[in-house]
Each structure stands twice: as C-alpha cells, then as structure tokens.
A and B are shown apart, each in its own frame.
Chain A
Amino acid sequence: MNKKYMYSLLAVIVLILLPYVGVEAAGLQVLFGIIIPYLAVLIFIIGFIYRVMDWASSPVPFRIPTTCGQQKSLPWIKQNKIDNPFTTGAVIIRMALEILFFRSLFRNTSIGLNQGPKISYVWEKWLWIVALAFHYSFLTVLIRHLRFFLEPVPVWLQWLEKIDGFFQIGLPGLYMSGAVLLAAVTFLVLRRIYLPQVRYISLAADFLPLFLIISIAITGILMRYFTKVDVVGIKELAMGLASFHPAIPDGIGALFYIHLFLVSILFIYFPFSKLMHMPGVFMSPTRNLPNNTRAKMHINPWNYPVKVHTYDEYEDEFREKMKEAGLPLEKE
C-alpha cells in the first residue's frame, strides 16, 4: 500500500466519522449544521482573498509570456493572434480558451520509445477530456445546490436541472453531473495510483481533495437516490443559514451532516492548498500578458541601477591595442 494515499484516505475516514459520532451520539447538530459551515465559508472567503491579494502584492517585473505561435511582425507573415497575443483583447481570448477549454492541456502528448530508436508523440486526450468533465460537472453540481438557498427557485436554475436530468432515468431523475463527477474524480484517483510517473510525483496532499470530493459525491448521491433524506428540512436549514437566522430542523439524518461537514472541510482546505490553482490560472504571467514588450516598454517597479563596465573603462584598458588595430578612439 502506498503511504501517500493511505494518509489521505485515513484522514477522510476520520472526517466522515467525526460528524457521524458528533450528531448521532453527542447531539452536536448546532456545531456541524451551523457553526462549522459558517466558519468554513468565512475561512474560505478570507483565505481566498488573502491569497489572491498576496500574489497581487508581488509585482510582475518582466513580461515573459510563453509564446505558442507566430509573433506579430511583418504584414506578409501571418500572426497567431491567440497563442502569441499582441493586444489585451487577444490576451482575453487566450485566457478564455485556457480557462474555459484548458487549451494548453489540449496539446498534451505522450511519448513512446520504439525500435530504431524512434520516438513517437501521440495526442493524449484523456486527461484533457476528464479534466473538462470533472470541472464542468462540479460546477453544475455546485450551481444546482443553489436551489437550497433560493426561494422561489429561479427559472434558469430549473432549466439547468432539466438539462442535467435530460435522460430521465429513475426516480428521482438522475442528474448527469453527479454521475460524471463521480466517474471523473475516480479516474483522476486511479490515474494517480496506477500511472507510475504520476504516482511518483504525487503528494499525500494530492489525494486528499480527490478523496474528499469522492466522499462528498457519494454521500450526495446516497441522499438523493437511496436514503431519500428530508429535503424540506434541509432546505429549511439552508435558508436559515443564508438568511442569518440559522435553526436546526428535526429529522435530518447523520448522512446529511457528513455531507455538509465534508463540504465545509473542502472550503476550509481550499485557500491553503493547490486548489488555489482556480484563481491562480487567471494570474499566471506567462499566459495573461501580451507578447509586445519590444513594441511597448514594460515597467519594472523595482528596477535599480547596476554596476556596468562603461565604454570609457573599456577604452582605457585596451587603448593601445585598439590604436594598433586602427580602431577609432574617444581619447587619443
């Protein structure tokens, strides 16, 4: 067994047991239903803003975009405006493609070493597809949960739910997003465990959010399709939290508190972890700047004078030799 994912697995098991025992044995509904969720949201918001401000407090001294296409130069040479943007508008398109469609990951290849030797490069699409599936299904699930905090449920949300439940399988109707999320996150875990190189670079901290999300998805799916929890009671709790008049309704099972607690942990964990790649991708200087430094001077706020070897010092040292070689001199 690999120690790295065992640590995370154990941590998640403990995190599941805590609210179970807390609610079932100690009656700590207020702690797990009100205090921790509030605390989690607070830590998430403050932590998130703090981290982003912290990044922003470091300047961008040099404009170093990674250019992935032809630069803007001469009229007869066709520029790749997206992968080598010259204007802010083009940068916005580059960033949008990066953030919405994971454009760089789309390029992913995998190498093979064949007889000869001949190296082959094959388009590796699976990580890109699953990453897209994972992030978009997660987003859909998150948005769907707004139903618990809004009364009446807005029309657009009802539309989203209709689309998500398009296939009308089972009762209550299966949401695609939940199933896709669980499948995608499982793929990501298996990839980390079974691909030798990915396993090698993985930290315990890389498994924790995956196990957390799996547990969150499973408890959610259990509640919706199998144990059929008291949805009215849960909505009452959610509305109470959202309107700052929190109250604990009766009859909500421990499963819900486990679900809520794991979500709270994910929120708390977020600002301290690699999950901050979410805001980070917006701020990455190799992607979010135009490649126009040669046309437009970029200012380094901490630029300072340095000691250089001046021409005069150079001529002083080599004057005789320069004279012999017939080179023009400043001072004879």
Chain B
Amino acid sequence: MNIVVCVKHVPDAQSERTFNDSDNTTDREGVDGLLSELDEYAVEEALKLVEASEGEVTVLTVGPAGAADALKKALQMGAHKAVHVTDDAIHGSDAPATSLLLAKAIEKIGTPDVVITGMASTDGTMGVVPAMLAERLNLPMVTYASQLTIDGSAVTARRDGDTASETIEATLPALVSVTDQINEPRYPSFKGIMAAKKKPVETWGLGDLGVDAGQVGLGAAWTKVDSFAKRPPREKGEIVTDEGDGGTKLAEFLASRKFI
C-alpha cells in the first residue's frame, strides 16, 4: 500500500504570528516554523498502516525553502521519501491554488492507494484543502476520521460528529483527513533522525508539474485579504482571591452584567 501524506510548514502558534505589511500575506519568515501539529497525526497514521502491511509513505508539501523542515520532521518520524513543491511564483497562493499544486504533484508521484491529510492547518485553519484536493483528484473522501482501517479495496473510518458517531466506507483510492483523536504521534528516534539524512527528497518547481505561473500565487488568488488589524488586548479584569466568598462574588458579577 502506497500512501501520500500532505503536510504543511506553519508559523509556530506559540510565537507572535502576523502578516506581511507589503502584501497582506502570512509572515512565514519573521516567525519560527514547524510541521503543523495536526499533520503529525496524518504522518503517524500512514506509518502505522504501512507498518501493518507493506508499502511506502511519501510526504508532500508546498511552500518556500523553509518548508523543507516539515518534510525533514516527517522523514525522521519514519516516512520513506519526500517531495517539496517550491517556486517563487507560489508565494501568496490561496487554498484552490495550493490544492492544484498538491494534485499535480500527487499525479506525478503516481496516484497512491490513499492520500492522508490532517484536519486543518494550524495557521490558516480553513480545513478546506483536503476537500479541494479530493475534488481535483476525483477521489472519494472521508473527513475527520478518528479511527481508520484499510482492507483490500476499501477504507473504513469512524467519525465522531455532533449528533452521531458514524462509520464511513469508501472505495480505494481515497482521500482521508484525520483528527487529533486518531493516534498519538511518535517522536523521532535517534535512529530515525540519522536515517532521515539519507532519505530522498525531491524538489519540484512549477515547470516540473506543468503548472503555469499565472495559475498560482497572490496574483491568481480567488480571494484577497483587504486589511488586517491586531485585536486590541483585552482590558485586564477584576481578579479576586477566594476567601470563602469567591462563589458569591462570582454570582454578584454575573448579576451586575445582567446574566442572571
């Protein structure tokens, strides 16, 4: 079984994330980046599936030079090879353009049995690239899997929705997005870190994918950020220490704000 896992290199949520003043895009240089935490679950699930049978896990990313770090982490976890789609013209691409690049790269890799993604990136948090990718690859899709089994020609997943817990089946090849409930991602071992250095990483530009520069990047984006503003910090509120009357004071505050 061959699996492609799509991953994203994102600005660290623990640091001060911001935008570029010049073009309103996400600042990916002034802030430390890392493999999106939610993508670690996708990598882990792919590794488990391959370890239980056979095959290879290819990790794929679209992003600037620094995005190679995300691939490196996935290779250290145990992925077999990596593909990095990068090109100056890609800067500012929106979700549809990103999904186009991912789709073209997956076609070039050779459509696998399963494409696995995280549920969303931790920076843009749109959570729509998996659906766009399924649409472009014309694959059935199972979203938000919290449990996954693959048996011959079908994928079965459990999805814990708001009103029901569902079992979903799709024929292979398929695209699956997984939640952070599905597994506990492994930490790279020392052996894994050493082995990753020898694993193949291919770097592809737009020309390798047959994509025209006019189809991607900020200029081709179907949406644009008109303006951004830092939310003013919340005014520090009243903090009391419970001396046996904390609950009463809490109720008084609620009454003063007309909540009761």
- A and B physically associate: no
Q: Which residue numbers of B lie inside 8 Å of A, CB to CB?
A: none
